[in-house]
Amino acid sequence: MNSWPVKPWVVLVGPPGAGKTTVGQHLAASSGRSFRDTDTDVERAAGMSVADIFVEHGEAHFRALEQAAVAAALDDHDGVLALGGGAVLDPATRDLLRTHTVVFLDVDVAEAAARVGLNQSRPLLLGNPRAQLARLLDERRPLYAEVAMVTIDTSGRDAEAVAADVLAALVPA
């Protein structure tokens, strides 16, 4: 019986294309921790892809599933946790994040657009990914910054270098 609360070692937030998954996997591998991604948790719970949830049930339904998945993962994952890019839109989620170690992976619009490319798995970016990303970033940067203890700009940098920066921020020399 363990009554100590479990907390993720680090929670990564940021827009699509910031590299949360790639950087998170590097961080997990190099620190011997496990990696978890709340989009994957939502897909498992729903039995369908994020894109299909948006099409069949709408964004509000996806956000409700996401809020529950984030709350559960914050409660029982002790490794590296990557949140879907829009998770911080939810005030209850922002509230939960206040007691966690959160890193904001930032990226400029041009690089985020290049990284997400024409990948059809992100329903909010369909149509004009660059314009959608610019809008998302304007709207969300203050929210990412609000929940994070540190911001790391990933533009022009590879995942290993960013992971090293995250590690340095977590374990000061």
Can you give the binding site for ligand S3P, defined by CB under 6 A?
Answer: 16, 20, 39, 50, 84-86, 122-124, 136
Kindly state the smallest distance separating residue 75's Cβ from ligand S3P, in Å.
19
Kindly state the smallest distance separating residue 32's Cβ from ligand S3P, in Å.
24
Tell me whether residue 65 or residue 165 sits nearer to ligand S3P (CB atom): 65
* DSSP letter (8 states) at residue 155: T
Kindly state the smallest distance separating residue 55's Cβ from ligand S3P, in Å.
12
Tell me whether residue 147 or residue 172 sits nearer to ligand S3P (CB atom): 147
Distance (Å, whole) CA 29 – CA 147: 25
Tell me whether residue 33 or residue 122 sits nearer to ligand S3P (CB atom): 122
Tell me whether residue 4 or residue 159 sits nearer to ligand S3P (CB atom): 159
Q: Is 132 left (phi over 0), alpha (psi -120 to 50) or beta?
A: alpha
Kindly state the smallest distance separating residue 154's Cβ from ligand S3P, in Å.
13
Non-local (6+) Cβ contacts of 92 within 8 A are: 67, 71
